[in-house]
Amino acid sequence: MADKDKLVPRSEDFNEWYNTVVLKADMADYGPVRGTMIVKPYGWALWENMQQALDRRFKATGVQNAGFPMFIPMSFLEKEARHVEGFAPELAVVTHGGGQELAEPLVVRPTSETIIGHAYANWIQSYRDLPVLINLWNSVVRWELRTKLFLRTLEFYWQEGHSAHATAVEADARARLMLDVYTDFAINEAAIPVIPGEKSALERFAGADQTWTIEAMMGDGKALQSGTSHNLGQNFAKAFDIQYLDPGNQLQHCWTTSWGLSTRFVGAVVMAHGDDNGLVLPPRLAPYQVVLVPIYKKDAEKTAVLAATQRIAQELTDAAVRVKVDDRDNVTPGYKFNDWELRGVPVRLEIGPRDLEKNSVALARRDVPGREGKQFVSQDGLVQTVQALLTDIQANLLAKATQFRDANTHDVTSYDAFKEAVQTGFARVWWAGDDADELKVKEETKATIRCFPVDQPDGRGVCFYTGKAAARIAIFGRSY
Amino acid sequence: MADKDKLVPRSEDFNEWYNTVVLKADMADYGPVRGTMIVKPYGWALWENMQQALDRRFKATGVQNAGFPMFIPMSFLEKEARHVEGFAPELAVVTHGGGQELAEPLVVRPTSETIIGHAYANWIQSYRDLPVLINLWNSVVRWELRTKLFLRTLEFYWQEGHSAHATAVEADARARLMLDVYTDFAINEAAIPVIPGEKSALERFAGADQTWTIEAMMGDGKALQSGTSHNLGQNFAKAFDIQYLDPGNQLQHCWTTSWGLSTRFVGAVVMAHGDDNGLVLPPRLAPYQVVLVPIYKKDAEKTAVLAATQRIAQELTDAAVRVKVDDRDNVTPGYKFNDWELRGVPVRLEIGPRDLEKNSVALARRDVPGREGKQFVSQDGLVQTVQALLTDIQANLLAKATQFRDANTHDVTSYDAFKEAVQTGFARVWWAGDDADELKVKEETKATIRCFPVDQPDGRGVCFYTGKAAARIAIFGRSY
């Protein structure tokens, strides 16, 4: 429920603001087991809209969904050396089932590359069976010690895509294609101007040859890794014997990829667009795009106002606008305004007795606070007016977030300037350091290479840290 | 792949036929851990269509989706005595996490009433918070010893709905409403004429006061419990202190319900409609409603035939018909026919050079085998022709299944006639026995009370088993 007074200003304590908003907006709650999360209906509806936007895009590239078991034999993980090294410390282990101790302990999947590898090895015989393009919508478990709702929880919801190909070129193309899908989704659905790029070797997925990422800047200037796509080379194909007969009847190992985006992205939306009054949701993903608040004092007014509210709600619903009518009679309109502001509904539509007389309604846009964001419009053509407003809000959120990102991304050439830049945002630098240099910079500044952006300038430059000639620029930032 | 010759006739060995069809139609595969299942894309697409058909219905009754953790403290299950008694033997237990032994073992949810109870107790304060209507789409784990793909697996996919109400009357109404939703779904989407009814006390959900069920007759005359809805009374509310302040400011315990339908229903569709040639899918749920098979011999024909195939496929897609173009060039049309018959696609559309000349196509309906089910139709108005055919197939499947069910349901009054009836189908009988009688009948005949149907005759009768006066009839059958 809206209890606006207790919301800490975002600028004062971003972390506390985030936790409070997520709880007060009824997006999520803590589960009874430490580090687990209950996603409440409002948060889940947002996630469902994300799922649909992604699923549509996946299917357009030929991907099909499937369901794989959550239990994986411990021995599977041990087949890929770097993979088990990366995930072993975070595993949840089932040792008993049906009242008996198990002969081999089972791992609750932290990710499914190994069990996928096992299945693909059985399913794939010939080049005609390729590519295999499968996606899973599920939850995975990683025993995290420091947790935060949506951003890092012991169990989280995500999709994990897994493909197998005949050639290295095709696997590379698929890994990049899914990076493009994530980028398009983030920008055009969530209004988050992510930076697509490649991870450094140190930040790669355990078992990948190459990891692609979309990196988003949050409202405090920190980075959030928001989706990743991995070129797994032949690592898992060799560990699990995923082989096929090529047209010349020769046995070849496949090339595989995997790619995932999780409920962490819900956190990205909160932190990229939210303000001191709470959530600000992009219209394309918002569970409710318009909240209708009927305003009346006398009983005589009530009937007519509620009837008009319902009529308008129906018109909007018929036009596929997602609406909520707030007809609670135990709280004031002012309370409702605060409540739906906190919950980030893009447009508030108010209607009262005078509106009935004047054939008007009031529309307040969430992205522009106060009087400036409020207008009185005719009920004639209201559906079109609302749709245009939603489109405008979506565009405005992207523009604001892009402006913020660019204003807080600095091209720096000295370490001092670098240190200052990563206090409040991203540093974009020429980089020629090795793993040790990267770790040193992290130790000294808490900033890591978020990615080598896909979009690179021409030519070469000088590494700000090593002074060596550098072939590409990197984005550094502190991250969640 | 279609390897029709190896399909055991359904009449010869129903069990073997089922296992073979599920595997050959590429619906599912065995997971590496005993009793687990991989749902392959074709099976998952069928499940997705079921999910959408159900989700739409749930939301229309005010239900919202959410996500709850899979891990439940063992102590939670122990709070409701009958619940833990029912589920304890089937639990998977996590004893280690992040490399440490856990202080309290965690159960992987077998169902979520307990963790829901814990959360609802925190969330619900006042009568104004009621009802709470939440549904989860997830998977649950029950350590089954004898497993069978889709019907009984160690982990299975389902939805579980959980509601909390202010009064017993409202909880009863919700439990029955969800029974109605399941019945409507089964009949109108899956073309399975289920019998809605109440479970006997012996067959109730562990912790419920009343369990409602939809019971379906499979192609071998056995029953499949296909969805259940439980009135939990105040059992969980009292175990977890789910309380609310009523309008008079008195603290009251809530009344709760739960209701679930699982991937078991995929098995129901296979076993209710399948025939010796494989699956027969109801058009409303089929992943592909129409498969298009281009037929050509010479290269000169190929281009024109493929172009026409693509054009027709696009026209059908634009009309929201789900199509698959089978343009494989390494198998014959005959192989394709068998393959898609096995996979149960409702309509096969063939198009060859002569069809181009005559502006026609051939349509073969899966539910009517051979020549009788094949017709040549004009390409003019083809979309409408196909849509009408799909509607007809859907209706025909329901009619056939209803006829089969009714032909194999016998009103019997003697135990001898009862024993004969349950060999091949259902026995519908007046029943006045107690739990001991029911167990005795089960022991002697393997038949159990599937349900006391909602639809009861007027008046009273004589119990076929005890000879006592009976107030209601029961459906008995052998079950999966």
A88: DSSP letter: G
Domains of chain B listed by start with CATH number? 4-273 (3.30.930.10), 290-390 (3.40.50.800), 409-477 (3.30.110.30)
Question: For B158, which residue in chain A has the nearest alpha carbon?
Answer: A67
pLDDT of residue B133: 98
pLDDT-derived band at A330 (thresholds 50, 70, 90) equals very high
Candidates B37, B99, B108; nearest CB to A89: B99
* Ranges in chain B, pLDDT < 50: 1-4
CB of B434 within 8 Å of any CB in chain A? no
pLDDT of residue B436: 98
Q: B70 vs A73: CB contact, 8 Å cut-off? A: no
Q: B72 vs A33: CB contact, 8 Å cut-off? A: yes
Q: What is the 3-state secondary structure (H, E, C) of chain B?
A: CCCHHHCCCCCCCHHHHHHHHHHHCCCEEECCCCCCEEECHHHHHHHHHHHHHHHHHHHHCCCEECECCCEEEHHHHCCCHHHHHHHHHHCEEEEEECCEEEEEEEEECCCCHHHHHHHHHHHCCEHHHCCEEEEEEEEEECCCCCCECCCECCEEEEEEEEEEECCHHHHHHHHHHHHHHHHHHHHHCCCCCCEEEECCHHHCCCCCCEEEEEEEECCCCCEEEEEEEEECCCHHHHHHCCEEECCCCCEEECEEEEEEEECHHHHHHHHHHCECCECCCCCCCCCCCEEEEECCCCHHHHHHHHHHHHHHHHHHHHCCCCEEECCCCCCCHHHHHHHHHHCCCCEEEEECHHHHHHCEEEEEECCCCCHHHEEEEECCCHHHHHHHHHHHHHHHHHHHHHHHHHHCEEECCCHHHHHHHHHHCEEEEEECCCHHHHHHHHHHHCCEEEEEECCCCCCCEECCCCCCEECEEEEEECEC
A126: DSSP letter: B
Q: How do A323-325 and A347-351 pair as beta strands?
A: unpaired
Q: Which of B63, B108, B109, B329 to mutate to test the interface with A (most CBs of A within 10 A)?
A: B108
A and B: number of Cβ contacts within 8 A: 174
The answer to whether residues B45 and B287 touch, using CB atoms and an 8 Å cutoff, is yes
pLDDT of residue A5: 56
Q: B41 vs A64: CB contact, 8 Å cut-off? A: yes
Candidates B44, B89, B128; nearest CB to A66: B44
Q: How far from B157 is each of A465, B121, B151, B363, CA to CA, in Å? A: 52, 26, 11, 35
Residue closest to B117 by CA, chosen among B171, B62, B80, B155 = B80
Q: How do A223-231 and A92-97 pair as beta strands?
A: unpaired
CB atoms within 10 A of CB B298: 7
B36 chain-A contacts, CB cut-off 8 A: 69, 71
The answer to whether residues B207 and B162 touch, using CB atoms and an 8 Å cutoff, is no
pLDDT of residue B5: 56
B422 burial type by CB count under 10 A (0-12 exposed, 13-18 middle, 19+ buried) = buried
CA distance B203 to chain A (A): 21
Mean pLDDT score, A53-79:
97
A127 chain-B contacts, CB cut-off 8 A: none
Mean pLDDT score, A219-229:
98
B155 chain-A contacts, CB cut-off 8 A: 69-71
Q: B38 vs A72: CB contact, 8 Å cut-off? A: no
Cα separation, B97 vs B108, in Å, equals 13
pLDDT of residue B145: 83
pLDDT-derived band at A298 (thresholds 50, 70, 90) equals confident
Cα separation, A396 vs A375, in Å, equals 17
User: Mean pLDDT in chain A?
Assistant: 96
CB of A145 within 8 Å of any CB in chain B? yes
The answer to whether residues A129 and A11 touch, using CB atoms and an 8 Å cutoff, is no
Give the B window 49-68 contacts with A, CB below 8 Å.
64-68
Cα separation, B39 vs B47, in Å, equals 9
Sign of the Cα pseudo-torsion (B219, B474, B87, B61, in order):
positive
Q: A64 vs B73: CB contact, 8 Å cut-off? A: no
Both tokens assigned to B468: 């006592």
A234 burial type by CB count under 10 A (0-12 exposed, 13-18 middle, 19+ buried) = middle
CB atoms within 10 A of CB A281: 28
B29 chain-A contacts, CB cut-off 8 A: 119, 122-123
pLDDT of residue B2: 44
Residues A446-477: pLDDT tens digits? 999 999 999 999 999 999 999 999 999 999 99
Cα separation, A105 vs B373, in Å, equals 53
The answer to whether residues A17 and A7 touch, using CB atoms and an 8 Å cutoff, is yes
Question: For A63, which residue in chain B has the nearest alpha carbon?
Answer: B41
Angle at A175 between CA A426 and CA A141, to 5 degrees: 75
Cα separation, B192 vs B399, in Å, equals 9
Residue closest to B364 by CA, chosen among B280, B269, B273, B274 = B280
pTM of the model: 0.97
Q: A89 vs B73: CB contact, 8 Å cut-off? A: no
Question: For A329, which residue in chain B has the nearest alpha carbon?
Answer: B128
B44 chain-A contacts, CB cut-off 8 A: 64-67
Residues A270-285: pLDDT tens digits? 999 999 999 999 999 9
Candidates B41, B69, B138; nearest CB to A38: B69
Give the A window 328-387 contacts with B, CB below 8 Å.
330
CB of B141 within 8 Å of any CB in chain A? yes
The answer to whether residues B236 and B80 touch, using CB atoms and an 8 Å cutoff, is yes
Residue closest to A422 by CA, chosen among A220, A226, A203, A225 = A220
